[in-house]
A = this chain, B = another copy of it.
């Protein structure tokens, strides 16, 4: 958890178009939510902070008769900060936390007959996520398959979706391979 990643995630989203806190919250439920996310409570606080620091500016848009949407835009300062952050080189790979893998490390304390259920649950979750991602992908890039024909904005989206898909496919593949090993082991033991 390092130096204000949420700040830059928000600046990045606002560099595409002006958004409200609610819009930003929604974005984290789509493609980019595969690699960073935050709850609305954190986002509203961060927006206030960014406003204070003059990285963003605010204006009101009416949504209906009474409902005020607070829209945010990047300021010059915000644009510069984003630019600089985008060019930073990471110095090390951060731990990508994964509770299932953590549990599996403690395999010896899981009764053998319970293990397949754990794998199957994970397989279900990951398969659902992959389906969601593929749906998104074909919605945005279904017709135009060749990434060379995409503009820079679409290409960012393309990379992130293709990355998420490849991550989930790889995860599912590893789950299947590992589950096979477990099944063979269980079969072995019942022969004895």
A residues bordering B, Cβ < 8 Å?
1-2, 5, 8-9, 12, 15-16, 31-37, 82-83, 85-87, 89-90, 92-110, 112, 114, 117-118, 121-122, 125-126, 129, 147-148, 151-153, 155-157, 159-160, 162-164, 166-167, 170-171, 173-174, 178, 181, 184-185, 188
Instruction: Flag if A12 contacts B109 (CB, 8 Å).
Output: yes
Most chain-B Cβ atoms within 10 A of its Cβ — which of A82, A92, A159, A166?
Answer: A159
Select which of B94, B102, B106 is within 8 A of A5 by beta carbon.
B102
Q: At the interface, is chain A mostly helix, strand, loop or mixed? A: helix
Give the residues in chain B near A110, CB-CB below 8 Å.
Answer: 86-87
Instruction: Flag if B96 contacts A156 (CB, 8 Å).
Output: no
28 of the cross-chain contacts (CB-CB < 8 Å) are: A5-B97, A5-B99, A31-B105, A35-B95, A35-B97, A35-B102, A82-B109, A83-B109, A86-B103, A86-B106, A87-B110, A89-B121, A90-B99, A90-B122, A96-B167, A101-B163, A101-B164, A104-B156, A104-B159, A105-B159, A107-B156, A147-B181, A148-B181, A148-B184, A163-B178, A166-B170, A166-B174, A170-B170
